[in-house]
A and B are shown apart, each in its own frame.
Chain A
Amino acid sequence: MMLTLLLTPALFMFLVSFLRNENAKYLLALSSFVILFPIVDLFTFVKPYAILGTYLVADKLDTYVLLVSSIVGIGVTLALFTMDKHVTVSPKAYRKFYRFFAIFWIGLIFSILSNHMGIYWIGLELATLSTVYMIKTNHTPAAHKEAWNYMIVGAIAVSLILFGIILMYASAKPILGEEAMQFDLLLKHAKEIPSPFLFEIGFAIATIGMFVKMGFFPMNLWLANIERSSFYPVAALFSGILESAVVIGFFRFSQIAMEVNYNNLFIFVFIYTILTIFIVSFLIYRAKDFMRLFSLSGIEHMALIVLFWVSGSPFAALLHFGAHAFLKPALFLSTGVLETNGKFKMAGALRGYTGKRGKIFLFLVSLFLLAIISLPPSPMFFSELYGFGAMINTAKGSDHMLGMIGAVLFLLILLSIIFYRFVSIYQSMRYEGEARSRKVYAGELFALILFAVSLVALMLPNTLHYLKTVI
Chain B
Amino acid sequence: MVDFLIGLFLASLIAALFTTRLYGLLFWYSMNSLMLGLLALGIGINIDDKAMLLTGVVTILIKAIGIPYVLKNLSHKFNFARQIVSGIKMQYSIMLVPIILVFTFYLSVPIVDMIHTNANYVAISISSLFLSLLLIMEHSDVVPKIIGFLALENSLFLLGTTATNGMPMLVELGIFFDLLMAIVVINLLFHKEEMKI
Contact = CB atoms under 8 A, between A and B. Distances in A.
A243 interface: no
B2 interface: no
B189 A132 contact: yes
A126 B178 contact: yes
Given A152-B136, A163-B129, A119 B182 contact: no
A252 B136 CA distance: 30
Interface in A198-220: 198, 201
Given A159-B149, A178-B168, A139 B174 contact: no
Most chain A CB inside 10 Å of its own CB: which residue of B129, B133, B178, B182: B178
Contacts of A11: none
Contacts of A103: 181
A122 B153 contact: no
A136 B188 contact: yes
A104 B150 CA distance: 22
B59 to A, nearest CB: 16
Contact of A119 (B170, B181, B189): B170
Contact of B177 (A122, A144, A151, A178): A122
For chain B, the bracket of interface size reads 35 or more
A151 to B, nearest CB: 7
B171 A132 contact: no
A169 B167 CA distance: 8
Contacts of A223: none
A147 B188 CA distance: 11
A167 B107 CA distance: 14
Given A159-B156, A167-B163, A198-B111, A136 B178 contact: no
A293 interface: no
Interface in A113-159: 116, 118-119, 121-122, 125-126, 129-130, 132-133, 136, 139, 141, 144, 147-148, 151-152, 155-156, 159
Contacts of B165: 173
Contacts, number: 105
24 contacts: A118-B170, A125-B181, A129-B178, A132-B189, A133-B188, A136-B188, A136-B189, A136-B192, A139-B196, A144-B189, A144-B196, A148-B142, A148-B145, A151-B186, A151-B189, A152-B145, A155-B182, A156-B133, A156-B149, A159-B149, A170-B115, A171-B114, A173-B165, A181-B168
Interface of chain B, helix or strand or loop or mixed?
helix
B159 A119 contact: no
A166 B159 CA distance: 7
B84 to A, nearest CB: 16
Given A129-B185, A152-B136, A170-B163, A118 B171 contact: yes
B15 to A, nearest CB: 22
Contacts of B182: 129, 155
A163 B171 contact: no
A198 B114 CA distance: 7
Interface of B: 110-111, 114-115, 122, 129, 133, 136, 142, 145-146, 149, 152-153, 156, 159-160, 163-165, 167-168, 170-171, 174-175, 177-178, 181-182, 185-186, 188-189, 192-193, 196
A392 to B, nearest CB: 35
Contacts of A198: 111, 114-115
B111 A166 contact: no
Interface in A157-201: 159, 162-163, 166-167, 169-171, 173, 178, 181, 194-195, 197-198, 201
Given A156-B136, A159-B156, A118 B111 contact: no
A126 B185 CA distance: 11
Nearest to B115: A170
Contacts of A121: 171, 174-175
Nearest to B133: A156
Contact of B110 (A126, A132, A147, A197): A197
A136 B159 CA distance: 33
B180 to A, nearest CB: 10
Given A155-B149, A178-B168, A122 B175 contact: yes
A159 B178 contact: no
A277 to B, nearest CB: 27
A195 B124 CA distance: 20
Nearest to A196: B114
A194 B114 CA distance: 9
Nearest to B192: A136
A132 to B, nearest CB: 5
Nearest to A122: B174
Contacts of B185: 129-130, 132-133, 151
A119 B167 CA distance: 12
A218 to B, nearest CB: 14
Contacts of A159: 149, 152-153, 156
A409 B93 CA distance: 45
B114 A195 contact: yes
A55 B153 CA distance: 23
A163 B111 contact: no
Nearest to B163: A170
Nearest to B116: A174
B100 to A, nearest CB: 16
Contacts of B149: 152, 155-156, 159
A118 B189 contact: no
A144 B129 contact: no
B178 A166 contact: no
A159 B142 CA distance: 18
Contacts of B178: 122, 125-126, 129
Given A129-B182, A139-B196, A118 B110 contact: no
